[in-house]
Structure 1
Amino acid sequence: MNRQKFIDKFVAAFFILAVIKVIGILAQLFHQSFWSVIGTLVIFIIVALIIFVVLTLLEDKEKDQSSGGGRSRAGGGNFYIESSLFDKIRSQYEDLAEKYIAEKDYKRAAKVYINLLKDYYRGARTLEDGRFYNEAAVIYLKKLKNKSDAAICYEKARQYKKAIDLYKEMEQKEKVGDLYKEINDLKNAHTYYQMVVDDYTANNQMVKASLIYRKKMEKIPEAQQILLKGWEEDKDAFNCLNNYFANIFDINELKTEIHHLYEKTPDYKKITYLEAMKYEFKKDVKLQEAARSIAYEIIAEKVASRSEIVNELKYFNPDDEVILKDISRFKTSRNKMFRN
């Protein structure tokens, strides 16, 4: 009988709450559109009917058990009914939301997730899938405190200033620069891009800094200067040198720069320069003579202390079978000299 009384009280409480909810929905007519309120009311009525049917079935079942003299476990009875009822109601809400999504009615589906299931994340994602980006951003921000997804939604909605404010709070400087550039505010865009460059150079990431200058700010000379700085100061030297040469598209200018930089290269960095020459040799036939000449010079200087460097000759003479034999003979004679 305890469970019967519980169900009766639950039904009474449900009807009272239902009446209050209907009044609350109708009160929204003062500040929302008529059809929006009607839509919310229809959803509530459908859900209320589902709950009423479930309660009625439970009540009938309990009466049958009572009339038959059956007794069930008293300790966990109420908990079982509440849990079972909750699961059934939740399942009905889930089905209703999926039905609305199938019908492409994303706003109603989102209302089910947000208002009835209290699943704010799925509600926001449903709004985003339906391209209601502003509404999704509000849920992400106010209910989930998720600035990142909110900023993405504002960006999709072309609410760039709102997105910029959020990216500033998250200190995503490059993204702030991108959005300023999107709205053609180049002054602010370059201010934030420069912050990114400064951060990269402070962490010795010279290649990344140069890419911001070259691709985002279109400042080619500054990009080259920072790569040259990285090469000279041994901050990721090889990649800086390689990218520096890659940004020179005129072959004659590149050939001149290859010779010019080599003349200023200190002895301890010549092996690194040799590695760079392998790339330049393969780049263009017109560069092969210059790259080979510098490679020969470096190999000749270093062979006394690093005999294995003769193997590098094959990179600059890929089709010369004689050079391979010469390398082999050199290594054989070198080994005999050490044995003797």
Structure 2
Amino acid sequence: MNRQKFIDKFMAAFVLLAMFKIIGIVAQLFHESFWSVAGTLGIFLIVAFIILIVITSLKDKEQNNRNSAGRKGSGSSSFYLENSLFDRIRSKYEELAEKYIAEKDYKKAARVYMNLLQDNYRGAKTLENGELYNEAAVVYLKKLNNKSDAAVCYEKAKQHKKAIDLYKEMEQKEKVGDLYKEINDLKNAHHYYQMVADDYVKNSQMVKASLVYRRKMEKTEEAQKVLLKGWEEDKDAFNCLNNYFANIFDIKKLESEIQNLYEKAPAHKKITYLDVMKYEFKKDPKLHTVTRNIAYEIIAEKVSTRSEIVNELKFFNPNDEVILKDISRFKTGRNKMFRN
């Protein structure tokens, strides 16, 4: 089939399909609003007009070329012409969509992407960018089966019930709790937060569980219990103890708790306790005495098996030159670590 015949047949087929399309659009009046149908029809007529201009231009160009080029190479030229034609039509669609976006007519732009370019994702994204969140959610859900983006759009549209249902399907329990809390349904919010906290505890993620209790549920005591459990059961012990102390804001109470937990600490956790004491020492000058004394006890207890631990004395005595000299003597074996 030479190029001229291809163009003629394409134009005839296009006109026929356009007629059927117009009839189909008009038929939508039975189940859609007049303005919705009018908008769709308007877009189609504009696009059809553009396509006819492109085809007519190609037809005129081909007629001129035939007078000089003859029929040589018609097969490969026809293939090139078909690709060129569709590329130009697609380019016109892209330009039309961009024009509608520039005019902030996001619905028309989305229709071009979905109906003419067969790109549902760009259509949904265009609606979302235009803050048409309900419409975008429907496209994400029905056209793309993308529950995650659909839920986000429903959330932005304040369609909390629909968003909650989707997050439940995706088993995003914390997000479900957040949305219930946003609509002041604290009973359901805490129910889902509790499931999240239980999951974290089950997976030995005690700090994360404590954050759910403290930040989401505002249950500080429960948060502290989980952190203490993590310390006692050696589940991320350092971070659990560090966060446990960080949640005690009364200095006297904190000082007492530091001493109390140290007295209960087993031997194999003393080094971890020493590391935590470094943080507490820097927190407040009022904690210097208790943290330094605990550090001295741990260092004295462990120095026989871990000689390098004497270096920790510098942290608790940063300006004490005597301590620094004693450490140096101990390391060189010329004297004892502590002087009477």
Q: Are the structure 2 counterparts of residues 102 and 69 from structure 1 closer, same or farther at C-alpha, using a change threshold of 3 Å?
A: closer
What CA RMSD, in Å, does the superposition of the two structures yield over aligned residues? Answer: 1.6
Instruction: Provide the TM-score with structure 1 as the length reference.
Output: 0.95
> Could you tell me how far 1:325 is from its partner in structure 2?
1.1
**Structure 2: which 5+ residue stretches go unaligned?**
none
> Could you tell me how far 1:320 is from its partner in structure 2?
1.4
Partners of 2:249 and 2:320 in 1: how far apart? Answer: 29
Partners of 1:329 and 1:67 in 2: how far apart? Answer: 104
Aligned to 1:206: 206
Deviations 1:129-179, CA, capped at 9 Å, x for gaps: 110001001111111111111110010001111111111111111111111
Partners of 2:335 and 2:114 in 1: how far apart? Answer: 79
Partners of 1:9 and 1:200 in 2: how far apart? Answer: 66
Partners of 1:65 and 1:232 in 2: how far apart? Answer: 88
Matches within 5 A, 1:230-309: 230-309=230-309
Aligned to 2:12: 12
> Could you tell me how far 1:8 is from its partner in structure 2?
1.5
Partners of 1:64 and 1:139 in 2: how far apart? Answer: 46
Aligned to 1:121: 121
> Could you tell me how far 1:33 is from its partner in structure 2?
2.9
Matches within 5 A, 1:114-263: 114-263=114-263
Partners of 2:285 and 2:72 in 1: how far apart? Answer: 92
Deviations 1:290-317, CA, capped at 9 Å, x for gaps: 1011111111111122221111111111
Matched-pair contact (CA < 8 Å) for 2:136–2:153: yes
> Could you tell me how far 1:203 is from its partner in structure 2?
1.2
Matched-pair contact (CA < 8 Å) for 2:107–2:127: yes
Deviations 1:72-117, CA, capped at 9 Å, x for gaps: 4233343322211110000000001111111111111111111111
Q: Are 2:103 and 1:103 equivalent residues in the alignment?
A: yes
> Could you tell me how far 1:4 is from its partner in structure 2?
2.1
Partners of 2:269 and 2:69 in 1: how far apart? Answer: 96
> Could you tell me how far 1:335 is from its partner in structure 2?
9.2
Q: Which moved more, 1:22-31 or 1:217-226?
A: 22-31
Identity among equivalent positions (%) equals 76
Partners of 1:174 and 1:75 in 2: how far apart? Answer: 62
Partners of 1:146 and 1:83 in 2: how far apart? Answer: 32
Matches within 5 A, 1:50-129: 50-68=50-68, 70-129=70-129
Partners of 1:222 and 1:260 in 2: how far apart? Answer: 19
> Could you tell me how far 1:20 is from its partner in structure 2?
1.5
- Partner SS, residue 333 of structure 2: helix
- Partner SS, residue 101 of structure 1: helix
Matched-pair contact (CA < 8 Å) for 1:65–1:71: no
Partners of 1:334 and 1:112 in 2: how far apart? Answer: 86
Partners of 2:267 and 2:60 in 1: how far apart? Answer: 95
Matched-pair contact (CA < 8 Å) for 2:329–2:335: no
Matched-pair contact (CA < 8 Å) for 2:2–2:75: no
Deviations 1:242-265, CA, capped at 9 Å, x for gaps: 000001111111111111101111
Instruction: Provide the TM-score with structure 2 as the length reference.
Output: 0.95
Q: Are 2:40 and 1:40 equivalent residues in the alignment?
A: yes
Deviations 1:31-64, CA, capped at 9 Å, x for gaps: 3333332222221111111111111122223333
Q: Which moved more, 1:314-323 or 1:205-214?
A: 314-323
> Could you tell me how far 1:270 is from its partner in structure 2?
0.7
- Partner SS, residue 292 of structure 2: helix
> What count of residue pairs does the alignment treat as equivalent?
336
**Structure 1: which 5+ residue stretches go unaligned?**
none
Deviations 1:13-33, CA, capped at 9 Å, x for gaps: 111111121222222233333
Letter in 1 for 2:192: Y
Q: Which moved more, 1:181-190 or 1:36-45?
A: 36-45
Partners of 2:64 and 2:101 in 1: how far apart? Answer: 39
- Partner SS, residue 230 of structure 2: helix
Q: Are 2:31 and 1:31 equivalent residues in the alignment?
A: yes
